Amino acid sequence: MVISTFIAANTDYVMLILFALVMSVILYFKRKNLEVQKILFPFLYLIMYKTKWGLTKMDSIAKRLEKHKNKLSYTSIIVGFTGMAIMTALFLMSVYKYFFVERAAVVAPLLPGSTIPGMPTLSFVHWIIAIFVLATVHEFSHGIFARMHKIKVKSSGFAFMGIILPIIPAAFVEPDEEQMQKKSKKAQLSVLSAGTFSNFIFAGIFFLILSFVLTPISGAIMEPQGVMIAGVYDGSPAFEAGVNDGEIIDSYNGVKIDSTDQLFIELNKTSPFEKVVLVTKENSYNVVLGEHPEGEERGYMGIGLANKSGVKQSILENVGKIPIKIFAWISVLIYWLFLTNLMVGLVNLLPLGIVDGGQMFYIALGSIIKNEKTVKSIFAVVSIALLLLLLFFLLPAMWGYFTSPFQ
């Protein structure tokens, strides 16, 4: 009974662990054909299984795109460095905010069960599909751009990022490093930026599908059902008062709440340390508001909000629940395909030695600074500093993810 209750409450988590265990067994029996890159072994590593899959297709696509090589290369490089600047700035701003403004999460593991306030939970099935799509698009594009620049692709294949167990599926292509080094810096940067460039293109496609196909359909079949508490920030007044996320707000200080705008109007009337009453469909909470972390004069509760919607009864009666569930499942998948391609693409552009952005940063430094020793020193300082910051936030987040079901 206890085990079945645990599985029911943590289905995505359990499926991830089972997936990792099965992959561990399979990879053990295939160990002679594997190559392991020990990043921080055994805590962080990459297992690669080399094949010749897709190489012919890469050649075929590269030949068709070769006449657009310069345009594609320059666009990819510009997008890559722009994304690097944006992502680095966002990351450093989040770090600053964490230490000097509010202890909010800076990074979060992209694993089954992940949530963003107001957004759908990432299920195991959606996760595995999204990872497969973004990894395939990313690595296949590296291969296509390499072949456009006449760089041999020695192998391709699938890989697993290991965090103790081989958990995160990935893909890779292996360009000939000697040929790559002999090419111009433009060609090298083009190949390195190609993966993220393609991820951004696919993110744009999925965003358009969301905006112009799925959202209008959702608007036609859904109706508002109130304001939902989409998250409670750790250490906030709402957290201290025991407010639970997922509940629908009924009233705030005696005022009936029907929209997020209406609640914001009421919140703007409050002051720090004022006592308020938050009533939901399930509970009633007495909250002592705090000082706003951004220095505003109004009181601070510390909750995330989202408009709760439901399917119109007339639609349910006409089409039934199954088509609605299928539509919802596809909508959530497209949303995560958009978000994973965008966010993983941006993270891959950070100037870290272990990702494409790091190699791009190193080449760019070499173009500006002619002293190789100085280039290596600057690159090492930037890369190590960012890596340590990333690990500082990521490791506790990973620990929290894997231990939360047992707390």
pLDDT digits (tens, 9 = 90+) for 256-306: 888 888 888 888 888 888 898 988 888 899 999 888 877 677 888 888 887
Do the beta carbons of residue 387 and residue 355 sit within 8 Å? no
pLDDT at 117: 59
Phi, psi angle pair for 240, to nearest 5°: -65, -30
Beta-bridge partner residues of 307: 227
Distances (CA, A) of 149 to 16, 78, 172, 181: 39, 18, 18, 12
Q: Hunting for tokens 């914001």 — which residue is that?
A: 264
Whether the upstream peptide bond of residue 42 has omega within 30° of 0, thus cis, is yes
Assigned fold of 234-301: Pdz3 Domain (2.30.42)
Q: How many C-alpha atoms does 200 have within 13 Å on its Cβ side? A: 19
Residue 227 has pLDDT above 60, yes or no: yes
Residue 138 has pLDDT above 80, yes or no: yes
Beta-bridge partner residues of 284: 279
Given strand 165-175, what is the order of strands in its sheet?
34-40, 44-51, 153-163, 165-175
Report the percentage of the chain scoring pLDDT > 90: 46
Count of C-beta atoms within a 10 Å radius of residue 390: 18
Residue 2 banded pLDDT, cuts 50, 70, 90: low
User: Apex CA 244: angle with CA 282 and CA 285, to 5°?
Assistant: 65
Range in 113-127, 134-148, 380-394 the model is least confident about: 113-127
pLDDT digits (tens, 9 = 90+) for 110-136: 888 877 655 678 899 999 999 999 999
pLDDT at 32: 82
pLDDT digits (tens, 9 = 90+) for 95-111: 999 999 888 778 888 88
Q: Dmax over Cα atoms in the chain, in whole Å? A: 73
Intervals of CATH 2.30.42.10 along the chain: 234-301
To the nearest 10 degrees (0 to 180), the angle between helices 69-100 and 372-403 is 60
Do the beta carbons of residue 306 and residue 227 sit within 8 Å? yes
Range in 155-159, 176-180, 224-228 the model is least confident about: 224-228
Count of C-beta atoms within a 10 Å radius of residue 293: 15
pLDDT at 94: 93
Q: Hunting for tokens 């030949």 — which residue is that?
A: 63
Q: Hunting for tokens 């230490």 — which residue is that?
A: 99
Average pLDDT over the chain, rounded to whole? 89
pLDDT at 1: 55
402: its two tokens: 């894997």
pLDDT at 261: 84
56: its two tokens: 């012919």
Residue 213 has pLDDT above 90, yes or no: yes
pTM for this prediction: 0.81
pLDDT at 62: 95
DSSP 236: S
Torsion of CA 309, 313, 317, 322, to 10 degrees: 20
For residue 205, what is the enclosing H or E element? helix 185-209
